[in-house]
Amino acid sequence: MKSDISFSKHALERLSSRGIPKSLVMEAIESPDSVIQETECKQVYHKIFQEGSSMKMLRVFVNNCKDPSLIITAYITSKVEKYEH
Protein backbone atom coordinates (compact mmCIF):
# COMPACT_ATOMS: atom_id res chain seq x y z
CA MET A 1 0.00 0.00 0.00
CA LYS A 2 1.27 3.42 -0.91
CA SER A 3 1.74 5.75 2.01
CA ASP A 4 -0.36 8.48 0.41
CA ILE A 5 -4.11 7.91 0.58
CA SER A 6 -6.97 10.07 -0.61
CA PHE A 7 -10.72 9.74 -0.22
CA SER A 8 -13.04 9.99 -3.22
CA LYS A 9 -16.02 12.30 -2.90
CA HIS A 10 -18.23 9.20 -2.99
CA ALA A 11 -16.28 7.60 -0.14
CA LEU A 12 -16.54 10.72 2.03
CA GLU A 13 -20.29 10.89 1.42
CA ARG A 14 -20.76 7.20 2.28
CA LEU A 15 -18.59 7.40 5.41
CA SER A 16 -20.63 10.36 6.60
CA SER A 17 -24.01 8.75 5.87
CA ARG A 18 -22.92 5.45 7.47
CA GLY A 19 -21.31 7.05 10.53
CA ILE A 20 -17.92 5.46 9.86
CA PRO A 21 -14.96 7.48 11.19
CA LYS A 22 -12.00 8.07 8.87
CA SER A 23 -9.74 6.81 11.65
CA LEU A 24 -11.37 3.36 11.46
CA VAL A 25 -10.88 3.31 7.68
CA MET A 26 -7.21 4.22 8.05
CA GLU A 27 -6.77 1.53 10.72
CA ALA A 28 -8.22 -1.04 8.29
CA ILE A 29 -5.74 0.02 5.61
CA GLU A 30 -2.72 0.26 7.91
CA SER A 31 -3.31 -3.02 9.78
CA PRO A 32 -5.91 -5.10 7.93
CA ASP A 33 -7.06 -8.53 9.08
CA SER A 34 -7.12 -9.55 5.41
CA VAL A 35 -6.80 -8.04 1.94
CA ILE A 36 -8.61 -9.31 -1.15
CA GLN A 37 -7.29 -8.50 -4.63
CA GLU A 38 -10.52 -7.97 -6.59
CA THR A 39 -9.05 -6.65 -9.84
CA GLU A 40 -5.64 -5.51 -11.01
CA CYS A 41 -6.22 -2.12 -9.39
CA LYS A 42 -8.88 -2.75 -6.74
CA GLN A 43 -8.21 -4.23 -3.31
CA VAL A 44 -10.61 -4.70 -0.41
CA TYR A 45 -9.18 -4.26 3.09
CA HIS A 46 -10.99 -6.02 5.94
CA LYS A 47 -10.90 -5.09 9.60
CA ILE A 48 -12.85 -7.16 12.14
CA PHE A 49 -13.99 -5.55 15.37
CA GLN A 50 -16.47 -6.08 18.17
CA GLU A 51 -19.51 -3.82 18.41
CA GLY A 52 -21.52 -4.57 21.52
CA SER A 53 -21.94 -8.33 21.64
CA SER A 54 -21.51 -8.96 17.91
CA MET A 55 -18.56 -9.14 15.54
CA LYS A 56 -18.52 -6.72 12.60
CA MET A 57 -16.28 -6.24 9.61
CA LEU A 58 -15.29 -3.00 7.95
CA ARG A 59 -14.72 -3.44 4.19
CA VAL A 60 -12.69 -0.68 2.52
CA PHE A 61 -12.42 -0.61 -1.28
CA VAL A 62 -9.22 1.00 -2.59
CA ASN A 63 -7.96 1.77 -6.08
CA ASN A 64 -4.21 1.18 -5.77
CA CYS A 65 -3.46 2.16 -9.38
CA LYS A 66 -4.07 5.81 -8.54
CA ASP A 67 -1.34 7.97 -7.07
CA PRO A 68 -2.14 8.60 -4.32
CA SER A 69 -4.20 5.45 -3.69
CA LEU A 70 -7.90 6.29 -3.73
CA ILE A 71 -10.44 5.04 -1.20
CA ILE A 72 -13.54 4.31 -3.28
CA THR A 73 -16.03 3.37 -0.56
CA ALA A 74 -16.38 1.56 2.76
CA TYR A 75 -19.11 -0.14 4.73
CA ILE A 76 -19.62 -2.20 7.88
CA THR A 77 -21.21 -5.63 7.71
CA SER A 78 -22.21 -8.22 10.30
CA LYS A 79 -21.62 -11.03 7.76
CA VAL A 80 -18.03 -11.62 8.90
CA GLU A 81 -18.01 -15.33 7.94
CA LYS A 82 -19.08 -14.51 4.38
CA TYR A 83 -15.93 -12.46 3.73
CA GLU A 84 -13.36 -14.18 5.96
CA HIS A 85 -10.88 -16.31 4.03
pLDDT digit string, tens, across residues 16-32: 999 999 999 999 999 99
- What pLDDT score does 85 carry? 62
Rounded to two decimals, what is the model's pTM?
0.91
Mean pLDDT of the chain: 93
Tell me: the pLDDT tens digits for 44-61?
A: 999 999 988 999 999 999
Domain count, the chain: 1
β-sheet bridge partners, residue 44? 36, 61
* Tens digit of each residue's pLDDT (9 = 90 or more) over 61-76: 999 998 899 999 999 9
What size, in residues, is the chain? 85
d(CA 57, CA 5): 21
Residue type at position 38: E
Parent domain of 51: 5-83
Residue 69 maps to which CATH number?
A: 3.10.450
Neighbour tally for 56: CB within 10 Å: 15
